[in-house]
Homo-oligomer: A and B are copies of this chain.
Amino acid sequence: MNTRSPPTPALRMEAIREAHARIRDKIHRTPVMTSEVLDQLAGSRLYFKCENLQKVGAFKARGATNAVFLLTDEEAARGVVTHSSGNHAAALARAAALRGIAAYIVMPSNSPLAKQAAVRRYGGEILLCEPTLAARETTARQVMERTGAAFIHPYDDLRVMAGQGTTAIEFLDEVPQLDVILCPVGGGGQLSGVAVAAKHINADMRVIGVEPAGADDAARSLKAGEILPMVNPRTIADGLKTSLGEKPFAEIIRLVDDIVTVGEESIVEAMRRILEVMKLLVEPSGAVPYAAILERKVSGADIGIILSGGNLDLDRLPWQK
């Protein structure tokens, strides 16, 4: 018997549609690409939704933009705050700049300089803290108390989840015949939004989450029926190390057909093959769904694959000696 049950599902399709109308002139409608070579290798028709070509180089632009533009003028005037060392940080800074408001980004002091530079490029104000979750939360709370800024969580937030779900609206508008969509899962913001939208548009479609075997909390949580936190994740896919959020999990447990895991070698091979054949740079987290194809863990005639992001350090490509 589960002692901690997930919250009631709360993400409405209407919120995702409204999010799309709200953000569509502020983000890219990213292309869907295909490859005869990769289709032959897979024995399926593969469709790649290129969120690595999204603004700030990741799908995170969708959710952050939706959240920022949902604020009232009064709320917005006090700015926004988050803690993130990844793509959500840059996405929130950019969205705030579009609205002309302040963005306070709490980042651990060991964040890569490139990630800090991305936040600054969009005009975000960085507050460095100790690299622990407690320090991040404390620092963010202090900023909120000092400024009154609105906190925008990277994934455990319905406004953010609705924004991420807009990916599925565009994907199915362009390729309605998909019979399965593969989506990476870390905190679950994207997977939950995509699941709500995809199942609403076509109830027969399968939605499958993919995560590294070394950060398999979503697979274990789905099986257990409750959130099992990720302890000591070990994977190159740094965007997927985080534990599932409660709000995303409420949708995932209701709608997602399966969560499969992939090995580290497959993730690197997936990154490399997408770069070599499709000429597209994806970060490790973004290559995880295609790794499930390489491992033959998913089948289907028409398979949709979300390339979720493309930000990584070119001096440290994982196949370099």
Contact = CB atoms under 8 A, between A and B. Distances in A.
Interface string A114-127: 00000001000000
A315 B310 contact: no
B314 A272 contact: yes
A280 B315 CA distance: 16
B276 A279 contact: no
A70 interface: no
A317 interface: yes
Given A279-B53, A280-B281, A319 B315 contact: yes
A21 interface: no
Interface in A265-282: 272, 275-276, 278-282
Contacts of A315: 319
Interface in A28-61: 31, 33, 36-37, 52-53, 55, 57
A320 interface: yes
A281 to B, nearest CB: 4
Contacts of A57: 279
A24 to B, nearest CB: 17
A89 to B, nearest CB: 16
A319 B52 CA distance: 22
Contacts of A275: 281, 314
Nearest to A275: B281
Nearest to A31: B31
A212 to B, nearest CB: 21
A228 B31 CA distance: 43
A317 B310 CA distance: 18
Given A317-B317, A320-B320, A279 B31 contact: no
A52 B280 CA distance: 10
A303 B52 CA distance: 24
A314 B310 contact: no
A221 B6 CA distance: 73
A276 B310 CA distance: 8
Interface string A303-315: 0000000100011
Interface string A234-273: 0000000000000000000000000000000000000010
Given A31-B31, A275-B314, A280-B280, 19 more contacts: A33-B53, A36-B55, A37-B121, A52-B279, A53-B278, A53-B279, A57-B279, A272-B314, A275-B281, A276-B281, A276-B314, A279-B280, A279-B281, A279-B310, A280-B281, A281-B281, A314-B317, A314-B319, A315-B319
